[in-house]
């Protein structure tokens, strides 16, 4: 019986440590890409992420515009149905493809020190700085 009580307390303790997405903190925010790990960002243009109150997303992927939908599943943010325009911009093509590929892999997010980190299996894919 003591073991069951102890196990129950441990489950409660660890479940309180699970990071939960605060949709209110994300709603109606604008972000600018500051890091794409493993890649130097182009200096000629920027990538942005705008999140509406319904978790609709959109922005610029350096050259093109894109959109999609965010969903909260099991307290994790997933990005779905990402679409975009298809102009070719030679200077930013590699960064744009990497950015869009990363967006399609997102299965969670967290805000650390005012920066939005988009993750896949707890690995940081993209880091954004909030724009006022």
Tens of pLDDT, residue by residue over 37-73, are 999 999 999 999 999 989 999 999 999 999 999 998 8
DSSP code per residue over 53-102:
TT-EEEEEETTEEEEEEEEEETTEEEEEEEEE-----GGGHHHHHHHHHH
Give the structural domain span for 71. Answer: 21-131
**Reported pTM:** 0.82
3 belongs to a structural domain: no
58 belongs to a structural domain: yes
5 belongs to a structural domain: no
121 belongs to a structural domain: yes
CATH of the domain at 123: 2.40.128.270
1 belongs to a structural domain: no
In this structure, are residues 95 and 36 in contact, taking their beta carbons and an 8 Å threshold?
A: yes
2 belongs to a structural domain: no
Position 9 confidence tier, pLDDT thresholds 50, 70, 90 = very low
8 belongs to a structural domain: no
């Amino acid at each position: 019986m003591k073991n069951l009580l102890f196990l129950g307390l441990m489950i409660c303790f660890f479940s309180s440590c699970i990071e939960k997405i605060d949709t209110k903190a994300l709603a109606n925010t604008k972000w600018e890409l500051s890091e794409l790990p493993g890649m130097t960002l182009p200096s000629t243009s920027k990538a942005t992420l705008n999140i509406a109150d319904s978790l609709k997303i959109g922005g610029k992927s350096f050259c093109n515009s894109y959109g999609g939908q965010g969903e909260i599943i099991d307290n994790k943010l997933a990005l779905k149905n990402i679409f975009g325009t298809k102009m070719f911009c030679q200077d930013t093509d590699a960064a744009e493809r990497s950015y869009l590929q990363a967006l399609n892999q997102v299965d969670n997010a967290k805000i650390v020190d005012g920066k939005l980190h988009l993750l896949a299996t707890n690995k940081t894919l993209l880091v954004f700085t909030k724009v006022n």
